[in-house]
Amino acid sequence: MTEGPGSVRREQGTTSDAVVASGAPATRNWTLELVRVFSIAVVVFVHWVSVRVTVVDGVVRGEATLHGRPIWLATWVLQVMPLFFLAGGYANTLVVDRCRAEGRTYGAYLGARARRLSIPVVALILFFVPLGLALGAYSDNAAATVADIVASPLWFLAIYLVAAAVAPLMLRAHDRSPWSAPAALLGASLLIDALRFNGYGRYAEWNLIFVWLFCHQLGVLYARRTFQRATDGAIVAAGVAGIVALVVMVGPGPYFPTMLGLLDAPVSNLAPPTSALSILAVAQFAVILLADRRLTAWTPRDSSRRVLGVIVATLMPIYLWHIPVMAVLTAPSLFLPAILPRDPALWWMTRPLWLIVGLAALICAVRILIRWDILWSAFTPRTTTSATITGTVLSAAGIFVLWRIGLGTDTTALLAALAVVLGTALLTTTRRTTPSG
């Protein structure tokens, strides 16, 4: 889930670079494939129904639509971002192990991973910067609103770039002592929470690193099969302990009662993240372990496998573009505001049609983005360690700034966008790949 800036049974087979980038290694884990597909479906659905856009006297307004205590409880099930980082930890572990087995350098590992994460953002920049300039000529408010909306998913890319960059180090830490890294990360996030809840809120965003790297480290535990000998009862006990801990953290306080920002609960455990997300990830991890044991002998049919493969291979463009697609579909209402239902009941009645139209538009966008990806695949990733580290830092920093301030056309946003473009260029060589065969 994203909140605005103020917010991978096992089968051998070939794997394209696009699939590797999305976190699906050559050895497919169908449990995690299903988790990924479920998670992206939840993210798209929630985002497409959680904001009602209206235009009043030329002013664009976005109003939260979800509220009420039942929705508060539902957010603890609908919060799936820990699953993305867990799946990423699993995938990065397999990629790092493969690079080590092949004798590849850190630069070779990082260049390929970071470039694949940065390329979709370059497409976003090239599309929305000119659009922002055009909208600015019509309405500064509209341009600013679109800039914030389209940048809202970018926090994930920035943090995941950091997770990918430090994955070899985190893997070494696990291989020396499996519990040291998770314990240290959880302890650090709890310390940040203590500071935050005692008046030092300026440190809260450090948990963007500690919380999400904790979730990523759970994926390392999963890939290393650390819990292989644990009984079902022990796994259930760990999951129940996590739920009990969440109840204690939220009940007496001071943690927030929702996992997403809602109309009647604008501050949640997501933005900035709190340790409640780490504990939720433990409970989710227990469910995945239990499901995985029961799906060991299961392999989807050919048709289902193809569908899963396509969705997993396009997870990044789906995630990155589902909100921009929503913004583009809403843009005509700036000129014809009457087409936007102002009555909440009528607005909800139109959501099925909105979801169908949005899905069709998103599919078209993803097909175009696949062609964009093919253009970049004609050039090889850079493997020099210094260049790949520099490119990754530039990309991650630029993406983070764009998330914080929006993908606008002011000087700071343009400099951040330029950093992403330069970082992606540094991660790419000028050598064309040689077609095989």
Highest mean pLDDT among 59-63, 241-245, 350-354: 241-245
Dihedral sign, CA of 128, 130, 133, 138? negative
End-to-end Cα distance, the chain: 42
Helices 106-138 and 411-426, packing angle to 10 deg:
150
Percent of the chain with pLDDT over 90: 61
How many angstroms separate the CA atoms of 370 and 152, rounded?
A: 22
pTM: 0.88
Please list, in sequence order, all residues whose beta carbon lies within 8 angstroms of the beta carbon of residue 430, skipping any fewer than 6 positions away. 379
* Residue 41, helix vs strand vs coil: helix
| Domain range summary for the chain, segments of one domain joined by + | 17-432
- pLDDT score, position 1: 53
Phi, psi of 51 (to 5 degrees): -130, 130
Structure tokens at 56: 């009043």
Per residue in 164-209, pLDDT (tens digit) is: 999 999 999 999 999 999 999 999 999 999 999 999 989 999 999 9
Q: Which amino acid is at 303?
A: S
Give per-residue pLDDT as tens, 330-374. 877 767 777 777 788 888 998 999 999 999 999 999 999 999 988
Rounded to the nearest 10 degrees, how much is the dihedral formed by the CA atoms of 123, 125, 128, 130? -110
How many other C-beta atoms are found inside a 10 Å radius of the C-beta of residue 294?
10
Looking only at the bridges linking them, the beta strands covering 59-64 and 428-432 are unpaired
Among 98, 100, 133, 95, CA closest to 116: 95
SS3 at position 87: helix
Distances in Å between the Cα of 351 and the Cα atoms of 65, 139, 340 are 12, 27, 12
Separation between Cα atoms, residue 276 and residue 81, nearest integer Å? 13
